[in-house]
Chains A and B, each alone.
With several copies, the nearest count.
Chain A
Amino acid sequence: MEAPVKNTELIDTAKLREEFPILRQKLNGKPLVYFDNAATSQKPLSVINAVTEYYETINSNVHRGIHTLSEKATEAYENSREKARSFVNAESTNEIVFVKGTTDGINLIASSFGNMTVGEGDEVIISEMEHHSNMVPWQNLCRQKNAELKYIPVNDDGELMMDEFRSMINEKTKLISVVYISNTLGTVNPVKEIIEIAHSHNIPVVIDAAQAAPHLKLDVKDLDCDFMAFSGHKMYGPTGIGILYGKEKHLEAMPPYQFGGEMIKSVSFDKTEFNILPYKFEAGTPNISGAIVQGAAVDFIEKLGHENIHNSEMKLLEHANNLFEEIGGIRIIGTAKNKTSVISFIVEGVHPYDTGSILDNLGIAVRTGFHCTQPLIEQRYKLPGTVRASFAVYNTTGEIDLLADGLKKIKKMFL
């Protein structure tokens, strides 16, 4: 065991890293430096072991089963739903729907709620910095409905232009959907303010919390958002599972999105009665393992504590900013006052793809390209892509030093 390098008062990163087996790997002969956390995070042993434990002890189909295994699996499944409820501070587990991920959740809202809320000539507002998953579903809805999709503009620092937003709202605005934290810019948007403004016009608001879930304490009651969606895999949890929060009154009023087993109360050849919340929205055998193991991811985050995670990650961001400044010739895209540990940049004169390739050979995993925000990068910033380093709680300042060394090397190689 190496000597622990303390990153913050509270989180002992060296110790924490022992819980992440993948981080022990060598990549291309170098120790793996994983900075692609905004795409998906790595998983602690408690999460990985929860999968094995599920399959080795209680694997069974949930609900309706009367045998003991099925009861145990159901209990664990519903127990995880309760953890998710508490994680977002929702009123009731009726408001917590297990989905496949953020994309699935937003599609559910766009299809079921969007369909009943948006009509011909109406307007939907999103922002220029939305991830494709919070953009294309609304493009599709608006196209189908002959409604207009409007984009809140983004300023040069990567912040939403709130005055423009205010002036975009009119009596035709039926729905607003915005990202809590931009996966490309790192910007933490003033979603509470947006929701307040929207609600003063009786407009419901959807929050894409895919990037917020691992970094901030989510509080749907405080925000008063109408819907919120996020993915397990970005918050130290398994792939294939996500959480959709919806206010009970909305979920009650909405038609089901998918149809099949589990989501019905009774079926006959002629007519079907749908199940109560939240089951109405959970057709078919759910991702039982995924849902249960997601509970272990919630436990992992809550054990560390949101504030500690935040402090730890802010130190990393600060360290990276300082080093980048020092190196020079690095353009950071996204310099909002309120941002999290995502840093998009370009080594000036070097294509992001070239930068990413060399870093990969140095064992440093970053993402390059549009980060599923192509209009933001191409149309708003007129760039061919960026390099994105996104930090998680297990990253260290030492790893950022390696990134900085790599960038210096790249500058030498290309310029």
Chain B
Amino acid sequence: MNTKSIKEREDQIVEDFSLFDDWMGKYEYLIELGKKLPVIDEKYKNESYEVKGCQSKVWLNAEMKDGLLHYKADSDAVITKGIISLLINVLSGNKPDDILNADMDFINRIGLKEHLSPNRANGLTAMVNYMKKFALTYSGQNVN
């Protein structure tokens, strides 16, 4: 289990990505991550778990265990899965309040954004928001 803080995990990803000096390498790494992402249970692949706002389908669920929130997700597109994998890597297994406070600025720092289309970037924002919504629910506050 990952015991690092969110910030440390973000730094780790930034470091991983710094190894690639062209977008191709970054994409290849994302694809690799995407392929490895443990897939979500089929029963969650329906509308109620779908993240709206992506061109590919994304299903995402979260469960609380011992006060920590654990995410599972899947997508029908591999690059999307790779991106989700990063997000889960950073956020999963943290306290809801920490998740809510995460600024997720590694997304800018990995230098992928200039090669992620705004369309994907929007999808990414949609995913982050969706993940934070779970955190909000479990932190006992209301979604308005």
Contact = CB atoms under 8 A, between A and B. Distances in A.
Decide if A and B touch, CB cutoff 8 A. yes
Interface of A: 28, 64-68, 71, 74-75, 350-351, 353-354, 357-358, 360-361, 368-369, 384-385, 413-414
A414 B31 contact: yes
B45 interface: no
B117 A351 contact: no
A357 B79 contact: yes
Interface residues of B, number: 18
A357 B28 CA distance: 12
B2 interface: no
Contact of B118 (A74, A353, A385, A414): A74
Contacts of B55: 64, 66, 353, 368-369, 385
B35 to A, nearest CB: 9
Interface in B41-97: 55-57, 76-80
Given A354-B77, A413-B28, A414-B78, A66 B120 contact: yes
Contact of B76 (A75, A361, A384, A414): A384
Contacts, number: 53
B76 A357 contact: no
The 9 A-B residue pairs with the shortest CB-CB distance, nearest first, are A351-B77, A353-B56, A71-B118, A353-B77, A66-B119, A354-B79, A354-B77, A353-B55, A66-B117
Contact of A361 (B27, B31, B118): B27
Contacts of A413: 27-28, 31
B23 interface: yes
Contacts of A65: 119
27 contacts: A28-B23, A64-B55, A66-B55, A66-B120, A67-B117, A68-B117, A75-B118, A351-B56, A351-B76, A353-B55, A353-B77, A353-B80, A354-B31, A354-B56, A354-B80, A357-B117, A357-B120, A358-B27, A361-B23, A361-B115, A368-B55, A369-B55, A384-B57, A385-B55, A413-B27, A413-B31, A414-B31
Given A351-B56, A353-B80, 6 more contacts: A65-B119, A351-B78, A354-B78, A354-B80, A384-B56, A384-B57
A136 to B, nearest CB: 20
Contacts of B79: 353-354, 357
Contacts of B76: 351, 384
Interface in B15-42: 23-24, 27-28, 31
Contacts of B119: 65-66, 71
Contacts of B77: 351, 353-354
